[in-house]
Amino acid sequence: MNKNSKVLALKYRPQNFFELIGQEVISETIINSIKANKVPNAYLFTGIRGVGKTTIARIVAKSLNCINGIDKICKDDLCDNCEAITNSSHIDVLEMDAASKTGVDDVRDLIEFSRYGPSTSKYKIFIIDEVHMLSKQAFNALLKTLEEPPQYENGGGLKFIFATTEIKKIPITVVSRCQRFDLSRVKSTELFEFIKKIKDQEKGKVTDDALRLIVKISEGSVRDALSLLDRALLSLDKDKELDLNSAQKIFGYFDKSQLIDLFELIFEGNETKAIEIYRKIYDQGVEPKVFINDFLELIYYFKNINSLNIESTNFALNDDEFSKIKKIANEVSNETLILFWQFTLRTLGELEIVNNQNLSIEMFLIRLMYLKSLKKNEQSHLEEDKIDQLKKRQDDELVAKDKIKNETISQIKNISQEQKLRIEKDEGIKARGKFSVNSFDDLLIICNQKKEIKLKYELEKNVNLVRFDKKQIEISFNENLDKNFVKDLSLKLFEWTGERWIITLSKTKGGLSVKDKEKNRKIENINNAKQSKLYKSLIEKFPDADLIDVTQKKQDD
């Protein structure tokens, strides 16, 4: 095929490590391992689409089998091995697409083929693309050969090179037998310079802003960027330059400045103009989901603009847009932006259940305006409340000062009056459906009254009281205590008393549990009863008898 007739992604595919962009650390590591003759049995390259996984696989194959060696590897004039690998026609370098050959039989054929040494090169190499598509049985069949590949008479061996976009789908037993390399997204500036250089080589007329838009859409994928550039160069006449507006129409993107203007109108509450701008955006062919996602992105910029720079926005914004966002962001509270984010996410879900998504977006914008005005009203009410509270505090201070002047310091409340006030307070609480808990015994009584049997059981059986204060209980416990006990007790105490209680778990060994106390009391009563004349006389008459319990008689009995 004529090279000029190829798409740009194939025409400008890197042929060696020196032409590769964005993966310098990986390139240096592989070159050093080959020079040191410490080549792994298998390479595993993973990353998003278009960052160079298959490209690097072929470059590694060339580096291992180049006739001139790694130090003098072919760059322009290719040797027979490098040229054959470039054309995918080398007899010792087999490329396989795991998406079409997923079965264990395909892998067995591969292993069988590996028994024979290389014909014209040092290494026999198997490149398997999208390796995660192999079946579980196929992976298992590979394990032994991966760990102990055959060695050939010429001193070379068998090497596997895997490429995948789904590393999590590959069994860990396979990953552990490979030298793994994670390919990162290509940086925006690096990708921009790369496609700009290719644009010049193709003699295309594209503005820098249009190229930045291509970089933004490609999201760090070189292949996507080249495909978009190819499409852009073919969309216009040779004499016409592709500017940002034309590129936005071709790729279905709209001018971000329109969205910034829309934000400003929402903050101002100008419903008519805001809807008018959105309809212009919609008429440009922008889908509602694309609009919502861009809307979310812009909310992010408004929230974090002070910690970002132009480079970190991945060319999503130009200098003017960046400055405008920074200016508006200083006038908008973080609370408002977070609420906007939540409402936008909710709207994204609503788009799945409405027929006319366009109308849903318009209502979404109107809701944001009402939300903004609501926040303003709330803030104004808060300010009024603060002023009222300040005035009230000043009045209270004046009253307190007058009271101190008029009252004598030696005045003390009568004890009986205090008791009366406390009784009235307790009765008032009970009248409102609340209870007063002043001791551990009170707590057990309320549990019994409220039919909280499980809670009562935990308190009696598994809890040792360390300290009981007002609204604070400190306990130790045994290993049988329910894991939700503290949460359940806190909720019930709040429900019963109307107050927040603090339950503290202590390392200090508390007193005996209620059940243990009852058990000890029972033993003590039995021992005391056995010392009585009645018990001794009974034992004389009935030697086999045993005392198992003692019940105290009531006073009336």
Label residue 490 exposed, middle or buried (CB < 10 Å: 0-12, 13-18, 19+). middle
Residue 276, in any domain of the structure = no
Distance CA 3, CA 11 (A): 6
Whether residues 220 and 321 fall in one domain: no
Give residue 470's domain range: 431-511
Q: Which residues of 371-381 are buried (b: 16+ CB within 10 A; e: fewer)?
A: ebeeeeeeeee
- Cβ pair 22, 190 in contact under 8 A: yes
Residue 305, in any domain of the structure = yes
- Cβ pair 93, 123 in contact under 8 A: no
Distance CA 412, CA 408 (A): 10
Confidence (pLDDT) at 527: 82
Domain finish residue from 329, 352, 373: 373
Distance CA 247, CA 241 (A): 10
Whether residues 113 and 88 fall in one domain: yes
Distance CA 513, CA 515 (A): 5
Q: How many domains does the chain have?
A: 4
Q: 130: alpha, beta or left, given left = phi > 0 and alpha = psi -120 to 50?
A: left
Residue 477, in any domain of the structure = yes
Whether residues 152 and 198 fall in one domain: no
Whether residues 94 and 161 fall in one domain: yes
pTM of the model: 0.57
Whether residues 177 and 192 fall in one domain: no
Residue 42, in any domain of the structure = yes
Residue 389, in any domain of the structure = no
Whether residues 326 and 442 fall in one domain: no
For residue 166, count other CB atoms closer than 10 A to its CB.
Answer: 11
Confidence (pLDDT) at 381: 47
Q: Which of 300, 289, 294 is nearest to 352 (CA)?
A: 289
Whether residues 172 and 292 fall in one domain: no
Whether residues 178 and 203 fall in one domain: no
Residue 62, in any domain of the structure = yes
Residue 333, in any domain of the structure = yes
Residue 274, in any domain of the structure = no
Whether residues 355 and 439 fall in one domain: no
Sequential pLDDT tens for the chain (557 residues): 455 667 888 888 888 888 888 888 999 999 999 999 899 999 999 998 888 899 999 999 999 988 888 888 888 788 888 888 888 888 888 888 888 878 888 888 888 888 888 888 888 999 999 999 998 898 998 898 888 888 887 778 899 999 999 999 999 999 999 999 999 888 888 899 999 999 888 888 888 888 888 888 888 889 999 998 988 888 777 778 888 878 877 887 666 677 888 888 888 888 888 888 888 888 877 788 888 888 888 888 888 877 766 555 444 555 667 777 888 878 788 888 888 888 888 888 888 888 888 888 888 888 888 776 554 444 444 444 544 554 455 555 555 555 544 443 444 344 444 444 444 444 444 434 467 788 888 888 888 888 888 888 888 888 888 888 878 888 888 878 887 888 888 888 888 888 888 888 877 777 777 777 777 787 888 788 778 877 777 777 777 777 777 776 655 54
User: Domain with 453 in it: what CATH number?
Assistant: 3.30.300
Whether residues 178 and 205 fall in one domain: no
Whether residues 178 and 192 fall in one domain: no
Distance CA 73, CA 207 (A): 37
Distance CA 163, CA 292 (A): 34
Whether residues 65 and 143 fall in one domain: yes
For residue 183, count other CB atoms closer than 10 A to its CB.
Answer: 19
Confidence (pLDDT) at 46: 92
Domain finish residue from 130, 156, 182: 182
Domain finish residue from 348, 373, 398: 373
